[in-house]
Amino acid sequence: MNQAELNAAPATPFTHRHAAHCESGSVANLLSHYGRPLSEPMAFGLGSGLSFAYLNFIRIQEMPLIAYRAPPRGIIKGVSASLGIPFQVERFRSPNAGTARLDSLLDQGRVVGLQTSVFWLPYFPEDMRFHFNAHNLVVYGREGDDYLISDPVFEHPVRCPRADLERARFAKGMLEPKGLLYYPKAATQLIGMVPTPDNITRSIRRVARTMLAPVPIVGTRGMRWLARRIARLDPKDAATSRLIGHIVRMQEEIGTGGGGFRFLYAAFLQEAAESGSMPVLAEFSTRLLDIGDEWRAFALAAARMVKGRDAFDPPAIAALFSAQADREAAFFRDLRRALA
């Protein structure tokens, strides 16, 4: 579709789909709208979304950065590169300019993805509003003073008043969005852009490379390092409970689809096995589901200690954690070999 056709095209209603993770959900819903049907797991997989990082030197509200996923915006970039779909990406100096641009795109019938803070979005439940600036959502229209928003981590579309969305887009601090908006470029022919086995293989190798990287802070080595740190914690110190709770939060609470994104990635491997005609991936999907279950077991054991139902036992928690590092190291070594 070229620019003129896009402008002339009647506005297709936007289909909202509930997703586990904001970035993969937004990209999948956005591309599906523009004519390239894409599931959330496929977006997550092509974007090499799975990871692990323990960056002790980056502190966010006194807690070290712990992530079970790739850095923000990686999924958009990965999907864009794998499918050969260029995205128009814009940032703005001033909130006024950002809002004016968003309005004019919406008035042209365009649906756009945004990066925002979570804290300033009034439709989020109070207890989930923290200062995290790399949330993703899709805006598909406006009505009066409200924007019509498809926030993929919500079950249904929501509305957000103008002033609040502007605030959320221009929140300051770490990972600040600077009004970032994105959409597939108009001239792109999206239909027919299917993930090839080659794209899939490359995206999986990227994950395996990170997970097995010979550096101490990412992948399975990062897990082992964190496990060693946990083992040394003082069970009576309040900071111990905070750190353990923080790890579980990063694994389960932050839109991961359960088990620190492992179930979501297993869904990708399953879809890739079938649609990408790579049957070898099916058994890896099942194996990763089992690893995800072990992550859930770890979360349960840890949360019981945080809640005070079980006595704090840092070495036991550390042992669960490093067993996961062993499982994932073996998993990714086998996966890499299977794709060689």
Partner 1 sequence: MNIDDVPQEGNATLAGVRKAVYARGANNRIVTVASAGWEVEEIVTQQAVDIFSNYAAAARARVKAGESSPLEYWMYARRMDLATFAQSSGIWRWRIRRHFQPARFARLSPTLLDRYAHALGISRHTLVALPRDALI
User: Restricting to residues 129-148, which ones interact with partner 1 according to CB under 8 A?
Assistant: 129-131
Answer yes or no: are the C-beta atoms of 221 and 272 closer than 8 Å: no
Q: Which is nearer to partner 1, 23 or 252 (CB)?
A: 252
Q: Which is nearer to partner 1, 140 or 263 (CB)?
A: 263
Residue 204 touching partner 1 (CB under 8 A): no
Tell me if residue 133 falls in helix, strand or coil.
Answer: coil
Q: Which helix (H) or strand (E) holds 118?
A: none
Q: Which two structure tokens, joined as six digits, stand for 65?
A: 């950065």
Residue 41 touching partner 1 (CB under 8 A): yes
Residue 287 touching partner 1 (CB under 8 A): no
Query: From residue 223 to residue 262, what is the string marking binding to partner 1 with x (rule CB under 8 A)?
Result: ------------------xx--xx-xx--xx-x-xxx---
Residue 165 touching partner 1 (CB under 8 A): no
Strand partners, 204: none
Q: How far is the CB of 11 from partner 1 (least distance, A)?
A: 26
Q: For the chain, how far is it from start to end, CA to CA, in angstroms?
A: 38
Q: How far is the CB of 270 from partner 1 (least distance, A)?
A: 5
Is the Cα dihedral 238, 243, 244, 246 positive or negative?
positive
Q: How far is the CB of 59 from partner 1 (least distance, A)?
A: 7
How far is it, in rounded angstroms, from Cα 96 to Cα 94? 5
Helix-then-strand count for the chain, H and E:
12, 8
Q: How far is the CB of 173 from partner 1 (least distance, A)?
A: 4
Which residue in the set 1, 293, 323, 339 belongs to the binding site for partner 1 (CB under 8 A)?
293
If we measure between CA atoms, which residue out of 288, 195, 272, 264 comes closest to residue 22?
Answer: 264
Q: Write the Ramachandran bin of 102: left for phi over 0, alpha for psi from -120 to 50, otherwise beta.
A: alpha
Q: Which is nearer to partner 1, 125 or 192 (CB)?
A: 125
If we measure between CA atoms, which residue out of 98, 4, 28 comes closest to residue 257?
Answer: 28
Q: Residues interacting with partner 1, by CB under 8 A?
A: 18-20, 40-41, 59, 61-62, 119-120, 125-131, 153-155, 167, 171-174, 176, 241-242, 245-246, 248-249, 252-253, 255, 257-259, 263-264, 266-267, 270, 285-286, 289, 292-293, 296, 299-300, 303, 306-307
